[in-house]
Structure 1
């Protein structure tokens, strides 16, 4: 759950680690070959720039190329001061406000090929996330420590307006401390909501001995039950939003890590991945991806599904007891196979820190694009998901990249 008070106190300090970065010219030895992907659309990069008052402004800017030169927000794009999270669904980039910003705006292209804002809807509390239900419908979630209700909003994807709202008491899913959002997926006639328990005052996580997912019917959005599994700990982590992943078959995979670097105050179970088979509403007892066994004791912090059972992963290379809390680091990129339970690390990409939030990465064809801090700058990397290699690209003139997409 993107809690306003937690985000202000914890996420921004993580982000401010990058505030003092100096931006220099691109390395002379950088490989600047042309992007092999056909330019039938433009890259759209959401750049976060910190002002003298400590606050951030986000600039969502189109670029023809992200592999050469530098990417700057100066005088360009759509400007949004405050705190925002970005997620792309089909041909629209959704800007989700956090902290005191409780609105959602769609960013798309008009007939002239220019970026334009679509709709502007506000909520009582910041949305935790938005996921696709079908070509015309999105489902958004409000799950806040300021409310004792779990609120689902169905949103018209074409107008970014609320079509309906359904709410249920938090007590349906837990009688403990406030549940914190970690992932949401719709498969068939069910919506799955993953969460972990975090004290809203101290942010401690005293309950880490099992995974829990709330199951709701879809499209009725009626509460059905909570399913649990003690083979691993809670699903997801603070602000990562990647606790649940769905494949082409409709199977849902649940990622657990209990990383201190992603908000946990303790770790009591090994990190792993569970599965809910398509059409089922229980964890599959025959499936368990023992991530720590596959990585030699390491855990996956972020996950992005690519297709055919493959996913891009950011793996924390420090043992849990060695991780500094809230740092979202140190990370190493890899491709994992959810079907074969294998991990293959990416060559040519340095160990790096994350942004303490949703993974800002673009998957297109056989490539993943993302920006990481390196030395005194931030650089885009293009990752070949077939050959497991990475190529260094453009330098980014910002404090961090909050989103990268193609429209």
Structure 2
């Protein structure tokens, strides 16, 4: 088992898509299909947790055959030992190792994960990450979970170019800022954050926004607050929570207990900020929970054309009986949303399944690893939003109960 919180590391997944027409489901014949041959230049990869470690495997075709870690792939248990700290750009994987105090760059090629370079890293007060943002193709910015600190790494030269604490403008005495999102906006960075009262130990039920000059990281200006939903962005770095579409960046709130901000009474919602602006659009608020009986959601992937896929925790008051149920209870539903119409346009035709935010998009189609406890394995499913069609693909064998994580490498 791979633990995800302080008591629980686990395989995680990632965010969001459509059309209110009938859904047809077809299946590939996988039961008798041979295992997939070795792939030299794969389009995709998967990390599978097994009883003997976590393995990263190359995959060329997600829609046929059987994917098995037996005798194949790279054991990444010690390389990527805290998967919430993983960040990806193409074939390159970046990871902060909180136990060894190092930042590493790795490349998945020739079917294996290779170490490019590792450097000492201890510039944050906690090495469990809450968010990251690409400032350019070579500049990666990230911050510790639920605090006000950041670091910027030049991933080409593998040097930490800047680190520290965001200016405390707008933070009252005896309070601290908790940053949840950083969005590049030209010569500025847009920050979404919360305020925590250090005396009462209360994190306020509000989302706050600010902008700061970049690259100087000075002149922080608070630009607004909103009490309809919080937190505005991720508590855990691995969670998909924002995407850009048609001149706007859309930001998902994650109030869900345990996996998010711990604000069960607040709805999951989407806000948006226009390119170049410093404030949230005051006329836009997409309340997703209101359309799903109060359920909270996590992101899976952005599909395109304003459509995204979420996974929704259904009726947690009934389905959550112990802490681990947040990961392993069969209570999750896949939803397709449209941020233009502000509608949940479809629930994909699955039974209630295990927690999974594992998803990639290729040629306009979404591929998700579906952890149905009643199935004979974890299957990859393809959702074609244009045709509104759901098709079963490859079977992933050998998983230890956590949902395998898919990656697109090209």
TM-score by length of 2: 0.75
Task: Note the 1:133-172 alignment, pairs <5 A.
Answer: 133-135=135-137, 137-143=138-144, 150-156=149-155, 158-159=156-157, 161-162=158-159, 164-168=161-165, 171-172=168-169
Question: Greater CA deviation, 396-405 or 313-322?
Answer: 313-322
CA drift at 1:307: 2.5
**What CA distance in whole angstroms lies between the structure 1 residues aligned with 2:210 and 2:317?**
27
Structure 1 equivalent of residue 18 of structure 2: none
Task: Note the 1:227-306 alignment, pairs <5 A.
Answer: 227-239=224-236, 241-242=238-239, 244-260=241-257, 262-306=259-303
- Whether 1:224 aligns to 2:201 is no
**What CA distance in whole angstroms lies between the structure 2 residues aligned with 1:261 and 1:389?**
33
- Identify if the C-alpha distance between structure 1 residues 403 and 277 changes in structure 2 by more than 3 Å, giving closer, same or farther: same
- Identify if the C-alpha distance between structure 1 residues 219 and 388 changes in structure 2 by more than 3 Å, giving closer, same or farther: farther
Gap regions ≥5 residues in structure 1:
17-28, 52-56
Structure 1 equivalent of residue 117 of structure 2: 119
CA contact (8 A) 1:303 1:312 kept: yes
Using CA pairs under 8 Å that are at least 6 residues apart, name the structure with larger relative contact order, 1 or 2.
2
Q: Describe the SS at the equivalent of 1:374.
A: coil
- Identify if the C-alpha distance between structure 1 residues 267 and 130 changes in structure 2 by more than 3 Å, giving closer, same or farther: closer
CA drift at 1:115: 4.9
* C-alpha RMSD of the superposition: 3.7
CA contact (8 A) 1:311 1:335 kept: yes
**What CA distance in whole angstroms lies between the structure 1 residues aligned with 2:104 and 2:4?**
23
Task: Note the 1:286-365 alignment, pairs <5 A.
Answer: 286-318=283-315, 327-328=326-327, 330-354=331-355, 359-365=357-363
- Identify if the C-alpha distance between structure 1 residues 372 and 240 changes in structure 2 by more than 3 Å, giving closer, same or farther: farther
Structure 2 equivalent of residue 370 of structure 1: 368
Structure 2 equivalent of residue 54 of structure 1: none
**What CA distance in whole angstroms lies between the structure 1 residues aligned with 2:144 and 2:264?**
24
**What CA distance in whole angstroms lies between the structure 2 residues aligned with 1:321 and 1:183?**
31
- Identify if the C-alpha distance between structure 1 residues 333 and 240 changes in structure 2 by more than 3 Å, giving closer, same or farther: farther
**What CA distance in whole angstroms lies between the structure 2 residues aligned with 1:162 and 1:379?**
40
Q: Describe the SS at the equivalent of 1:382.
A: strand
CA contact (8 A) 2:194 2:206 kept: no
- Whether 1:209 aligns to 2:205 is yes
- Identify if the C-alpha distance between structure 1 residues 42 and 252 changes in structure 2 by more than 3 Å, giving closer, same or farther: closer
Gap regions ≥5 residues in structure 2:
13-25
CA drift at 1:44: 1.1
TM-score by length of 1: 0.75
Structure 2 equivalent of residue 92 of structure 1: 91
**What CA distance in whole angstroms lies between the structure 2 residues aligned with 1:98 and 1:109?**
18
CA contact (8 A) 1:209 1:232 kept: yes
- Identify if the C-alpha distance between structure 1 residues 177 and 100 changes in structure 2 by more than 3 Å, giving closer, same or farther: farther
Structure 2 equivalent of residue 20 of structure 1: none
**What CA distance in whole angstroms lies between the structure 2 residues aligned with 1:277 and 1:233?**
19
Structure 1 equivalent of residue 134 of structure 2: 132
CA contact (8 A) 1:88 1:405 kept: no
CA drift at 1:311: 1.5
Structure 2 equivalent of residue 7 of structure 1: 5
- Identify if the C-alpha distance between structure 1 residues 117 and 98 changes in structure 2 by more than 3 Å, giving closer, same or farther: closer
